[in-house]
């Protein structure tokens, strides 16, 4: 939403239903359009931490992106306050950390699966997955079974 210059109203309309301000962890999948690569960040608002996951372990790519994520976090706080949900978080001194520093991916088409696996790990209380390249086919199958079992809203 930052890269597309959405207004505060447009941003609010897209995210209000998540009630992110009531959660201790915010998960942001990020698509890098120039490289067609998915990465993710996990924000921990109360401690001011951003954990960055890139399956290629490319720390250089995160340098500029971390600033964008911090700006987006600040904007999330501002927007939620504008729409009547007091959230008292100081966003000026957040710190960013990579979750991995070496590549876990050897091809160009498993990044989305890895991001989904990391989201599942975080929602299950873990910080990283430990998934290796040879596990990806099993991760894909498991994710498909979970998604297929979800109810479809009316």
Q: What is the pLDDT at residue 78? A: 92
Q: What is the pLDDT at residue 68? A: 86
Q: What is the pLDDT at residue 129? A: 72
Kind and range of the H or E element at 148? helix 136-148
Statement: residue 12 has pLDDT above 60: yes
Cα–Cα nearest to 115, from 46, 22, 43, 52: 52
Question: What phi, psi does 11 have (nearest 5°)?
Answer: -60, -50
Strands 95-98 and 49-53: parallel
% of the chain with per-residue pLDDT over 90: 29
CA distance linking residue 85 with residue 18, whole number of Å: 13
Which among 2-11, 38-47, 129-138 has the top mean pLDDT? 38-47
pLDDT tens-digit series, residues 70-86: 888 889 999 999 999 99
Statement: residue 4 has pLDDT above 90: no
* Mean of pLDDT values over 123-142: 81
Q: What is the pLDDT at residue 142? A: 86
CA distance linking residue 142 with residue 77, whole number of Å: 35
């Amino acid at each position: 939403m930052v890269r597309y210059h959405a207004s505060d109203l447009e941003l609010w309309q897209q995210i209000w239903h998540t009630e992110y301000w009531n959660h201790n962890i915010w998960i942001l999948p990020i698509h890098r359009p120039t490289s067609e690569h998915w990465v993710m960040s996990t924000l921990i608002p109360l401690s001011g931490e951003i954990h960055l996951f890139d399956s290629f372990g490319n720390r250089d790519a995160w340098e500029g992106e971390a600033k964008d994520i911090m700006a987006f976090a600040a904007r999330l706080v501002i927007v939620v306050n504008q729409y009547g949900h007091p959230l008292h978080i100081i966003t000026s001194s957040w710190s960013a950390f990579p979750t991995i520093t070496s590549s876990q991916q050897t091809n160009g088409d498993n990044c989305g699966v890895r991001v989904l696996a990391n989201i599942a790990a975080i929602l299950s209380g873990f910080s990283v997955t430990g998934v290796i390249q040879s596990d990806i086919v099993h991760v894909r199958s498991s994710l498909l079974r979970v998604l297929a079992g979800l109810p479809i809203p009316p």
